[in-house]
Amino acid sequence: MKLKAVLVPALAALLSLAAAPLAAQCPSTGCPAQTLGTVEVPAEGALVSGYVQVVGFALDGNLVSNVDLFVDGTADQNRVTAPGGANINLPRADVIQAFPAYAGTAGSDPGWQMSFRAVNYSNGFHTLFVRITDVTGCCYFLAPRTVRIDNSRNQPPFGWVDFPKPEGSVQANGVLEVAGWALDDRVVDHVDVLVNKRLERQAVTGIYRPDVAAAYPGAPGALISGFVLNLDSTRMTNGVNVIDVIAVDDQGQKGLLGTRRVQVFNNSPNLPPFGEVEYPLLNSTWFGNCNFVYGGPSGGDIVDPRFVMWVSGWALDTSVVQERGGVSHVIVEIDGVTLKDSRINCHREFALNNRLVDCYGFYRPDIEILYPGFQQAPNCGFSFAIDVGYLITQRSFREGGHILQVKAADKEDQITLLKEIPITFECSSASLDPPPIAYVDDPPNYKMVNGVYPVIGWALDLDGVAEVHVLIDGVKQVDAVTGIFAAEYGLASPDVGQIYQNYPQSGYARWRFYLDTTKLSNSEHDLLVEVVDGRGNVRSAGTRRFLVDNNTLVR
Ligand SMILES: [Ca+2]
Ligand SMILES: [Ca+2]
Ligand SMILES: [Ca+2]
């Protein structure tokens, strides 16, 4: 916590720093008499280059609406922040602890953060002025800060380690996620993750970070500045392990992004599997042909191959006793009744061109990238084919609501419920409107999103897809880029086309929707995909849960 270190002296000097009355353009009457705040970073007289982070806090009791940075003067032409350029209203529990009178006021999240490019200024001393404006229009400047710019320096890469959080302990399933972002004045070449001062691996870089892009508007790489690496913590010793994350630029210049001391506590002899059910979405409708004459070509449970519904995802396992770990099988249940067990049901399905179905162990190189070194990666995918017409006509499941459960078991028979998915069964022949099927590729389930986020997915309907709508918590959303209440539809989807060959548009079923998450609260939300089909039927095609956090730059 870089900020905590500078805060103590800053607070001591604070009362003498507050509110220099420079603000000619702000109203002077009816404004709070007392204002507090300071520029915490950079320090007075600091030598800076590249992207210069400017960080601090401000309190006047009202909600802050704008924080602006000026260099070498307070006139409009000295202003360097773009409108909305500063990240504001960041929680700062440490500040409120020091000034408890402001707890519960509208301005009780007093942190702010922004940046400017040193290369826009000459070498030598420059003065930074920070103007705080609150929602009532009152404004004031914080005490100015002098820095020395040296543009001949190659700035070391900088950034932040979001996970593990400071003072964190590792989850019981043995996965230690290391994630954050890194930027450089030139280019970040790679990000090294060290465990106990020894290089463990390079992280996967290029992860989408619109929040970082918002805070560094002049940095071309900021939008894809994220990195992630998942480590198998069972390979670490129990007790405190030190994680260092170091970014390296193209000149070999290194920057320490953060150090985390994590308590690894894998005391159970065997840890249960973990993973994700990627398909279907929550609250999907599964439909089948209930008029088909039973007795499919293979005599199996796929009767009408045009109406196959899929359950897919991945599962991995860790184990303290290495040789006994590993996922043994994956089980699909409806309402607690076992439907499929990959150990028993994995087979080549004649009705689906001899495709392997109901199996665990599919190749998932994308998961191996995120979980390198885990046993069974990359062969950790599962996929089950389900014919709802068969279930309704032959297995006595009723039309209507059911609960789908997907479980993974390891070789020691430790079983994890990966996910529970409410699902509706329907006979497509009973209604003249076969329901749409859809998916959200990004964000994945429970991902933290922020800024203007491009939501990507696909949608199909046997009647054709006319429009795809995105609803958040039941409210239809407008695309932040196009201004239209519908997603852009018709992008290439060769992967979908392969699986759903009998659907119209299946090779061009992908959609994209720019969701402005800054208008949503920082909490959990439901993203519902609604499809208008070629005959004008409007139906929901499933829900994705995700988390909005537009304050992820909080230090
Ligand atoms: Ca550099
Ligand atoms: Ca295990
Ligand atoms: Ca339809």
Calculate how far, in angstroms, residue 433's C-alpha sits from the geometric centre of ligand 3: 4
pLDDT reading at 543 higher than 90: no
- Class at the top of the CATH hierarchy for domain 158-264: mainly beta
How far is residue 370's CA from residue 186's CA, in Å, rounded to a whole number? 26
Query: What's the pLDDT score for residue 82?
Result: 65
How far is residue 366's CA from residue 227's CA, in Å, rounded to a whole number? 15
Calculate how far, in angstroms, residue 383's C-alpha sits from the geometric centre of ligand 3: 25
Q: What is the mean pLDDT of residues 103-120?
A: 89
pLDDT reading at 6 higher than 80: no
Confidence of residue 320 (pLDDT cuts 50, 70, 90): low
**Nearest-CA neighbor of 310 among 246, 344, 356?**
356
> What's the CATH architecture for 268-431?
Sandwich (2.60)
Calculate how far, in angstroms, residue 413's C-alpha sits from the geometric centre of ligand 2: 8
Q: Which ligand is nearest the CA of 254, by number?
A: 1
Query: What's the pLDDT score for residue 85?
Result: 66
Q: Which ligand is nearest the CA of 411, by number?
A: 2
Q: Which ligand is nearest the CA of 459, by number?
A: 3
Calculate how far, in angstroms, residue 127's C-alpha sits from the geometric centre of ligand 1: 24
Calculate how far, in angstroms, residue 220's C-alpha sits from the geometric centre of ligand 1: 14
Q: Is 81 helix (H, G, I), strand (E, B) or coil?
A: coil
Contact 71, 118 (CB under 8 A): no
Query: What's the pLDDT score for residue 398?
Result: 95
Q: Which ligand is nearest the CA of 325, by number?
A: 2
Query: What's the pLDDT score for residue 7?
Result: 39
- CA 392 vs CA 245, 310, 426: distances in Å: 53, 16, 9
Greatest mean pLDDT among 17-21, 38-42, 113-117: 38-42
Q: What is the mean pLDDT of residues 296-324?
A: 77
Q: What is the mean pLDDT of residues 446-450?
A: 75
Calculate how far, in angstroms, residue 301's C-alpha sits from the geometric centre of ligand 3: 24
Calculate how far, in angstroms, residue 20's C-alpha sits from the geometric centre of ligand 1: 35
Confidence of residue 19 (pLDDT cuts 50, 70, 90): very low
Calculate how far, in angstroms, residue 228's C-alpha sits from the geometric centre of ligand 1: 21
Q: Which ligand is nearest the CA of 415, by number?
A: 2
Give the pLDDT confidence of 428-445 residue by residue, as tens digits: 765 677 889 999 988 877
- Class at the top of the CATH hierarchy for domain 2-149: mainly beta
How far is residue 428's CA from residue 436's CA, in Å, rounded to a whole number? 11
Query: What's the pLDDT score for residue 430?
Result: 55
Give the pLDDT confidence of 27-76 residue by residue, as tens digits: 767 888 888 999 999 999 999 998 898 999 999 889 998 899 999 999 98
Q: Which ligand is nearest the CA of 436, by number?
A: 3
User: Identical fold at 158-264 and 268-431?
Assistant: yes
pLDDT reading at 427 higher than 90: no
Query: What's the pLDDT score for residue 168?
Result: 61
Q: What is the mean pLDDT of residues 326-345?
A: 95
Q: Which ligand is nearest the CA of 253, by number?
A: 1
By CB atoms closer than 10 A (0-12, 13-18, 19+), residue 150 is middle
Confidence of residue 487 (pLDDT cuts 50, 70, 90): very high
**Nearest-CA neighbor of 331 among 271, 407, 389?**
407
Q: Which residue has the higher pLDDT, 247 or 4?
A: 247
**CATH superfamily for domain 436-555:** Immunoglobulins (2.60.40.10)
Calculate how far, in angstroms, residue 488's C-alpha sits from the geometric centre of ligand 3: 19
Query: What's the pLDDT score for residue 547?
Result: 79
> 24 pairs with which residues across the strands?
none
For the chain, percent of residues with pLDDT exceeding 90: 45
Query: What's the pLDDT score for residue 24?
Result: 47
Q: What is the mean pLDDT of residues 341-346?
A: 95
Calculate how far, in angstroms, residue 471's C-alpha sits from the geometric centre of ligand 3: 18
Q: Which residue has the higher pLDDT, 523 or 3?
A: 523
Calculate how far, in angstroms, residue 317's C-alpha sits from the geometric centre of ligand 2: 5
Least-confidence region, from 125-134, 178-187, 209-218, 523-532: 209-218
**Nearest-CA neighbor of 3 among 42, 44, 47, 51?**
42
* Claim: this prediction has a pTM higher than 0.85: no
- CA 150 vs CA 70, 119, 155: distances in Å: 19, 9, 10
Q: Which ligand is nearest the CA of 466, by number?
A: 3
Calculate how far, in angstroms, residue 429's C-alpha sits from the geometric centre of ligand 3: 12
Query: What's the pLDDT score for residue 37?
Result: 93
Q: Which ligand is nearest the CA of 538, by number?
A: 3
Query: What's the pLDDT score for residue 33?
Result: 84
pLDDT reading at 3 higher than 70: no
Query: What's the pLDDT score for residue 272?
Result: 83
Length, in residues, of the chain: 555
Q: Which ligand is nearest the CA of 158, by number?
A: 1
Residues 6+ apart with CB under 8 A from 9: none
Query: What's the pLDDT score for residue 420?
Result: 94
How far is residue 72's CA from residue 149's CA, in Å, rounded to a whole number? 12
Three-class secondary structure assignment of 261-296: EEEECCCCCECCCEEEEEECCECEEEEECCCCCCCC
- CA 58 vs CA 30, 109, 215, 339: distances in Å: 18, 9, 18, 59
Calculate how far, in angstroms, residue 462's C-alpha sits from the geometric centre of ligand 3: 6
Query: What's the pLDDT score for residue 22?
Result: 46
pLDDT reading at 17 higher than 70: no
Q: What is the mean pLDDT of residues 501-518?
A: 92
Contact 279, 312 (CB under 8 A): yes
Calculate how far, in angstroms, residue 105's C-alpha sits from the geometric centre of ligand 2: 48
Q: Which residue has the higher pLDDT, 303 or 123?
A: 123
Query: What's the pLDDT score for residue 173?
Result: 61
Calculate how far, in angstroms, residue 271's C-alpha sits from the geometric centre of ligand 2: 4
Q: What is the mean pLDDT of residues 487-501?
A: 91
Calculate how far, in angstroms, residue 14's C-alpha sits from the geometric centre of ligand 1: 33
Contact 318, 271 (CB under 8 A): yes
Give the pLDDT confidence of 252-275 residue by residue, as tens digits: 999 999 998 888 877 666 778 889
Domain boundaries, given as residue ranges, for the chain: 2-149, 158-264, 268-431, 436-555
Calculate how far, in angstroms, residue 471's C-alpha sits from the geometric centre of ligand 2: 39
How far is residue 303's CA from residue 387's CA, in Å, rounded to a whole number? 7
> 540 pairs with which residues across the strands?
530
Give the chain's end-to-end CA distance (angstroms, integer): 7
Calculate how far, in angstroms, residue 371's C-alpha sits from the geometric centre of ligand 2: 15
Contact 435, 541 (CB under 8 A): yes
How far is residue 457's CA from residue 436's CA, in Å, rounded to a whole number? 13
Q: Going along 283-414, which residue ranges are E strands?
A: 284-288, 308-316, 327-334, 337-341, 347-349, 355-357, 359-362, 381-387, 400-410
Q: What is the mean pLDDT of residues 316-324?
A: 69
pLDDT reading at 214 higher than 80: no
How far is residue 408's CA from residue 328's CA, in Å, rounded to a whole number? 8
How far is residue 509's CA from residue 20's CA, in Å, rounded to a whole number? 58
